Amino acid sequence: MSLNLHHPFGIWISVPLAVVSATGIYLGFPQQARELLSSAVATTPQRGGFNAPLLPVINLDPDKALGAALAAQPGAQPAAIFAPMQQNNAWRVQLRAPDMAGVTTVMVDDRSGSATKTVQLTGDRIAFWIRWIHEGSNAGAFWQFLVFTSGLLPTLFTVTGIMIWLRSRRIRRDALGRTAGLPQLDAAE
C-alpha cells in the first residue's frame, strides 16, 4: 500500500516541490538572496532591513501616510505600510491594484506628505514573481493546488517511507531467520 503512494506521488510532485523549495530558499534568506539577485539585474537599493533606525520624530501618522498613498494610486488596496527610516524620511506604502496584477510602491514624505510612485525595476519584479510562485498567489487554481499539495506531501512521504523501510527490514529479518536454520558448510571441507 505505502509503496503505491510513495513512488507515484513522489515522481509527480517532484517538479512543483523543487520550485516551491527553491523559491522558499530565496524567501528564507532575503538579504543574501537580494544581493545575489542584484548582482544579475537592477533592483532598488536596500531599505536598511530590520535593523535600520527609524525616524526619531514622526510627523505623519500611518493613516495620513496611507491616505496620501491611496490618493496617488486611486482604486488600489493597501498591501503593506512601513514606517519611515532615517535614511530616507519617507513612509513606504505598498498598494495592490484592483485586478491583482501587481504591487505598486508609493513613498510618502514624512515632512510634506507628498507621495511619489517608485519605478519598479526588473529585479523587483522578479522578487515579486518569486513570492507569487512560492505562495501560489496570482496563479490559477491548479498551481495553488500544487503548492498546497507540495506542503502536505512531505509528511506523506515520511510516513510511507518509514513504512517501506520497516517492511524491508522485516523481509530481511525473515530471510536471515530462514537461512539460520540451514546447516552451514565449512570452508575447509
Domain chopping of the chain, boundaries: 1-43+122-179, 44-120
| In contact, 60 and 67? CB cutoff 8 Å | no
Average pLDDT over residues 5-22: 83
Residue 47 pLDDT > 80: no
Confidence of residue 22 (pLDDT cuts 50, 70, 90): very high
CB 16 within 8 A of CB 9: no
pLDDT above 60: residue 2 = no
State mean pLDDT over 107-117.
88
pLDDT-derived band at 161 (thresholds 50, 70, 90) equals confident
CATH number, span 44-120: 3.10.450
Mean predicted confidence (pLDDT) in 176-188: 63
According to DSSP, the β-strands at 90-96 and 77-82 are antiparallel
* Range 73-91 average pLDDT: 84
Quote the cell numbers at residue 139: 496563479
Burial 141-168 (b: 16+ CB within 10 A, else e): eebeebbebbeebeebbeebeeeeeeee
Mean pLDDT computed over 8-15: 81
